[in-house]
Amino acid sequence: MKFEGFQVTNFRNVIDSGWINANQITAFVGQNEAGKSNLFEALYCLNPIVDSEYDINEDWPVDNWEGRKNAVGTRVCHARFSLSPSEITRVARAARPPVEGEDESTTAKPQALPTRVTVDLYTAYGKTTGFYVHGFDEGAIDENKASEWAKENTPKFVYIRDYEMSGAQIELDQLKARLDQVGGNRSKLSNEDQTILIILDLADIDLDDFLDKGRTAEGRTVRSFDKRSASAFLTRQFADLWRQKEVKFDIEIDGPTLNIFAEDAAIGMPVRLHRRSTGFRWYVSFAWKFTHATDGDFEDCVLLLEEPGVHLHFTGQRDLLKVFERLAADNTILYTTHLASMVDLAHPERVRIIESRDNHVAVTQGIVSSQREPMAVIEQSLGLTGDHSGILGSRQVLIVEGGGDAVTLQKLSGLLKADGKQGLSDKVYLWPAHGAPKTPMYAGFAIGQGWDAAVLLDSDEAGNLAKDKIDELYVSKMAQGDGQKFRTIMLGKATGTQQTDFAIEDIFPPKFFVDCVNAAYGFSIKIEELPEDGSDMISKRVEHLLKTKYGQSGLDKKRVLGEMWKQFDSWKTVEDLPQYAAGRAEKLFRAINGAFAA
């Protein structure tokens, strides 16, 4: 099933969140105390992996306290999943209504199935969650059977909010006493206790049985096999989520005392888990809880993660985003963050801004907020610091794919204007993104801030995909008649070229770029060696040759740009430019300036 979204009402500082659309990965960005956790806690209780319920005395909004006496039955959360074609078939079979005169041996008559079917979950104070299947014609399914099927098959919510595990030794008999004290309700135990119980679950170990085995020599022998099996299993599962280095875990139990050791393969000496870094213990806790929630399959659940990566180094945070991408193939991931490094610039559609308006939660499905605190995260992720944002807001802003594009355009503009030709308008500020896939994030921010802005994209597959995303997410939703404009400029069309694909380096003749490649790599590539089929971008043609003839893994554009910039330094007048570069550049600047003037 695909998780489509949810709505929270009447829960703490959430009066009405409005419908929140969910992506396969969705980032909830906001300041502390804005209400991100409240959204997740309300959602979790819909279909929790560990039993959890609302507490009217704790969860009812305090600024509507008088309404608490009538709170029972008041809706708190609604969520929706959509079914795949195979799941539609399965629920149709499972919930097929009985037909008079038909027994189980009768072949079912084929029926036309709907193309869209959803499972809607509703829960309220004092009520259990209801599962409702929508999309079938009236009478086509037995609604009670359909609800039973949905309850059994809807992905569970896995809420992980406290990652840190101390790794200190645990006295199992004392853990057993604490568990008995709360009547076996694990959710009332500490994070540390819950994690240890998870470890025992993963090893298929019953706590009572484990303690009993420790009282005899034979039992302790059997128990040693149990813990070795658990150690090996936890090591394998952790390796699927942590790929920075190879780590082996060893669970040691002496009497009722349990210790966990972690051993780096490169070192070969185990150390107790509590001596490892906070970031590492965070990963351990996350990995084992996720393993437990999915029975080691890492699939079919909705992960709700509170501030993941907060204890990790920047590179660890970027690695974690890659882990999310892998896990999202079979799960839905929702996470809260106030870290700029945990916002993926390539996916602005995944961002939800959480604001506090009149002390209540408000959700913006985009990357723009009127409040400074949540926008500070977005601005930092876009490289805006200090008064940079204010400076851009007073200029005409042209988003370009990268710093290399900006340097090239500035150099060409300077030479052309010195010769009295058309260059880039002095009103236009170049704002480099980090590649075409990330330009929509920059575009969305500029549009949301009301800037006079445009984006310049290569005429290639990546550029066209970025254009489509910008149009779909932002341009198509701009208010009509408010005077704001946003322009998308494609390089090929702007320079008047007949090439199908066109990037910034194609402003220059092919020989210029090939000469720079040769200087960077020490090769002797000739123009006639370049392939004629496929892309007509010079960089793609060169890259194909580097792979097929020279055994390179690809084209390192940074190396080539270094050689290009050496050539830039030697150009003093427009006459120094390679053949036809001045003409293409002038057409480009005329198109850019004209777009802003329109």
Instruction: Please provide the DSSP assignment of 439-492 as one string.
Output: HHHHHHHHHHTT-EEEEEE-BSHHHHHHHHHHHHHTGGGSPTTS---EEEEEHH
pLDDT of 365 reads: 82
The yes-or-no verdict on residue 103 having pLDDT over 80 is: no
- Residue 213 Cα to chain centre, angstroms: 45
Over residues 87-96, mean pLDDT: 94
The yes-or-no verdict on residue 302 having pLDDT over 60 is: yes
The yes-or-no verdict on residue 227 having pLDDT over 90 is: no
Q: Tell the burial category of 417 from Cβ atoms under 10 Å away from its Cβ (0-12, 13-18, 19+).
A: middle
CA distance 249 to 266: 14
Sheet of strand 351-357, all strands in order from the earlier edge strand to the far edge? 156-160, 301-305, 332-337, 25-29, 351-357, 360-364
Over residues 126-152, mean pLDDT: 95
The yes-or-no verdict on residue 546 having pLDDT over 90 is: yes
User: Residue 160 forms beta bridges with which residues?
Assistant: 305
The yes-or-no verdict on residue 387 having pLDDT over 80 is: no
The yes-or-no verdict on residue 386 having pLDDT over 70 is: no
Contact 300, 268 (CB under 8 A): no
pLDDT of 345 reads: 87
The yes-or-no verdict on residue 204 having pLDDT over 70 is: no
The yes-or-no verdict on residue 232 having pLDDT over 60 is: yes
Higher pLDDT, 446 or 202: 446
pLDDT-derived band at 390, boundaries 50, 70, 90: low
Q: How far is CA 92 from CA 1, 117, 165, 185, in A?
A: 15, 10, 44, 36
Placement of tokens 């959602």 in the chain: 43
pLDDT of 196 reads: 81
Choice among 90-94, 377-381, 508-512 with the minimum mean pLDDT:
377-381
pLDDT of 110 reads: 57
Which of 20-24, 99-103, 111-115, 215-219 has the highest mean predicted lDDT (pLDDT)?
A: 20-24
The yes-or-no verdict on residue 563 having pLDDT over 80 is: yes
Over residues 333-339, mean pLDDT: 93
Placement of tokens 């550049």 in the chain: 585
Higher pLDDT, 373 or 45: 45
Q: What is the pTM of this model?
A: 0.79
The yes-or-no verdict on residue 285 having pLDDT over 90 is: no
pLDDT-derived band at 229, boundaries 50, 70, 90: confident
Over residues 288-306, mean pLDDT: 81
Centre a 10 Å sphere on the Cβ of residue 457 and count the other Cβ atoms it contains.
27
pLDDT of 523 reads: 94
* Spatial CA neighbour of 445 closest among 401, 490, 481, 397: 397
Over residues 436-447, mean pLDDT: 93
pLDDT-derived band at 492, boundaries 50, 70, 90: very high
Over residues 51-57, mean pLDDT: 88
* Spatial CA neighbour of 463 closest among 485, 483, 486, 433: 433
Centre a 10 Å sphere on the Cβ of residue 561 and count the other Cβ atoms it contains.
21
pLDDT-derived band at 228, boundaries 50, 70, 90: confident
CA distance 132 to 148: 9
The yes-or-no verdict on residue 318 having pLDDT over 70 is: yes
Q: Given the DSSP bridges, would you call strands 118-124 and 156-160 parallel, antiparallel or unpaired? A: unpaired
pLDDT of 305 reads: 93
pLDDT-derived band at 592, boundaries 50, 70, 90: very high
pLDDT-derived band at 259, boundaries 50, 70, 90: confident
pLDDT-derived band at 274, boundaries 50, 70, 90: confident
* Spatial CA neighbour of 458 closest among 514, 511, 520, 409: 409
The yes-or-no verdict on residue 596 having pLDDT over 70 is: yes
The yes-or-no verdict on residue 321 having pLDDT over 80 is: yes
The yes-or-no verdict on residue 437 having pLDDT over 90 is: yes
pLDDT of 582 reads: 95
Over residues 323-338, mean pLDDT: 92
pLDDT-derived band at 111, boundaries 50, 70, 90: low
| DSSP per position, 341-364 | GGS-TT-GGGEEEEEEETTEEEEE
Q: Tell the burial category of 590 from Cβ atoms under 10 Å away from its Cβ (0-12, 13-18, 19+).
A: middle
Q: What is the DSSP letter of 48?
A: B
pLDDT of 406 reads: 92
Residues 141-181: tens digit of each pLDDT:
999 999 999 999 999 998 887 666 777 888 888 999 999 99
pLDDT-derived band at 244, boundaries 50, 70, 90: confident
Rg (CA), the chain: 30
Residues 495-515: tens digit of each pLDDT:
999 899 999 999 999 999 999
* Spatial CA neighbour of 22 closest among 6, 1, 38, 40: 6
Contact 567, 516 (CB under 8 A): yes
Placement of tokens 């060169």 in the chain: 542
3-class secondary structure per residue, 213-227: HCCCHHHHHHHHHHH
CA distance 333 to 157: 10
